[in-house]
Chain A
Amino acid sequence: MASASSPAGPPRLTWNALGRSTEEMAIQADWPAGITRDWTWGGSTGRGVRVCVLDSGIEGGHPGVGPVQGSYAVTSGPAGELSVTPVADEDTCGHGTACAGVIRSLAPECELYSLRVFGERYSTTGDTFITALRWAVEESFDVVNLSLSTTRRRFAEALHEIADQAYFASTVLVAAAHNTPVESFPWRFASVLSVGSHAVRDPSLVLYNATPPVEFFAYGTEVDVAWPGGQRTRITGNSFAAPHVAGYCALTLAKHPGLTPFQVKSLLYLTSDNVKGFA
């Protein structure tokens, strides 16, 4: 098994699977046989699993997204206090609709909820992000898709605390790695499922990364996504790899209710295309 550190220095920060084939990334696992994709999510539609997309909003009525069970946003009160309030099913830039469409394409019967953290100009603040994530964990969503991160280290401690709370409260946080080799949060934390892109145009291909911090790679290159105005477009980025993993988590939880994030992550590892060693 590959080591995460080397005598040459600290571990290399990975953020995508560029230049590495599935064969090169093969991992020999000495686990008992029986854990297959079919066992894990075969036949599942994600029915009943509550998935929150913490992003720019989700456009309501988009044919590629289907029903949105609830839309919320972080809003600022008169004294600047932040709270989460219900809003219309709208998207400020298309990012959230794209992510929601990917999840829907894999888990057609999951319940989708939108939690908007981007403002009119898309950008968000660390405080807004923290308020939103804390609310999502308190609301006990089964899966939260986080195709965003902050590079501001002063928010890392609070995000880390919430990520750990989610981990023990059975909310699976799926976090996209930054698209460039920089440190950002919360994808760097072990209590989330962190996702980068691989370069293969195959939504079913999921790879485990033996040299984290990014733990999984999924389809994030030239992804055909839903876009506001009932449109579609092709887009590349780790942001669109993460909802693939969120979709598989929803399928798994629908078939095996009550699994913890640790168990879901373990199943995702055992069913990754590059993890070998089963009957």
Chain B
Amino acid sequence: MNENDNLVATAAAFLGEAEHEHKELLASVVTVARALFTAAAASVFLLDEQSGELVFEAVSGAGEEHLIGQRFPASRGIAGWVLGALEPLVVSDLSTSPVFARDLAESTGYVPRSMMAAPLVYREDPVGVMEVLDPTPNFLTTLGAADLLALFAGQAAIALGVLRRNRAAHRMLATGQDNTELSQMARLLDQLGDDRRAASADLLSSLTRLLSAR
């Protein structure tokens, strides 16, 4: 194993650890949200843009034993609406909601009567959805509940955004695929002769000063 392989293995180990920690953080967010809203369940979905699906990433309460990893179309149901409109939705009676996708709920094994959902946005990009199922009814008619949900959604969005980025990095390491502009630049620099490498280092140093200037 050469030095580069060692570096790759170390980076992969760190990313694996980070994945574990961010999943723990997401699990903690949904557990606290479920407790605070005294709800039947709380969950976080990750948006898989390539497949156009939402994936259960963290669940507390109903379905927590079997739902992680289950996928749904990202364009359907309350979660799909919230993701598309980038707006939270509180529905106190799902039986009359034209947005609710009952078939999707049935496939999870739990059909709620009411639901709160909020989009998860990380650095201006939608990365997923957070849902709270059957919260205590008085939460369903107050603006405060939506504000509270937004706070949890903010936390979950950061964890989900970082998780997504780490997974992308992990995939790149695992497949040897390394095509970001920065890494391409690093590889080109490495191949340069001494003179040009020194000149490029000066250029990069100037660029770093420019980017870090406030």
Contact = CB atoms under 8 A, between A and B. Distances in A.
A237 B92 CA distance: 14
B84 A122 contact: yes
A151 B143 contact: no
B98 A231 contact: yes
B143 A221 contact: yes
Given A18-B144, A123-B126, A237 B98 contact: no
> What secondary structure prevails in chain A residues at the interface with B?
loop
Which size bracket describes the interface of B in this complex?
A: 20 to 34
Contact of B150 (A122, A180, A234, A236): A180
Nearest to B126: A123
Contact of A121 (B75, B87, B92, B118): B75
Contact of A222 (B83, B96, B141, B147): B141
Interface in A216-234: 220-222, 227-229, 231, 233-234
A187 interface: no
Contacts, number: 82
A122 B92 contact: no
Contact of A93 (B84, B150, B154): B84
B18 interface: no
Contact of B98 (A94, A123, A151): A94
A237 B87 contact: yes
30 contacts: A17-B143, A94-B99, A95-B87, A118-B84, A118-B85, A120-B75, A121-B74, A121-B75, A122-B86, A123-B86, A180-B147, A180-B150, A180-B153, A181-B147, A181-B150, A197-B143, A199-B143, A220-B143, A221-B143, A227-B98, A233-B97, A233-B99, A234-B96, A235-B90, A235-B91, A236-B89, A236-B143, A236-B146, A237-B89, A237-B146
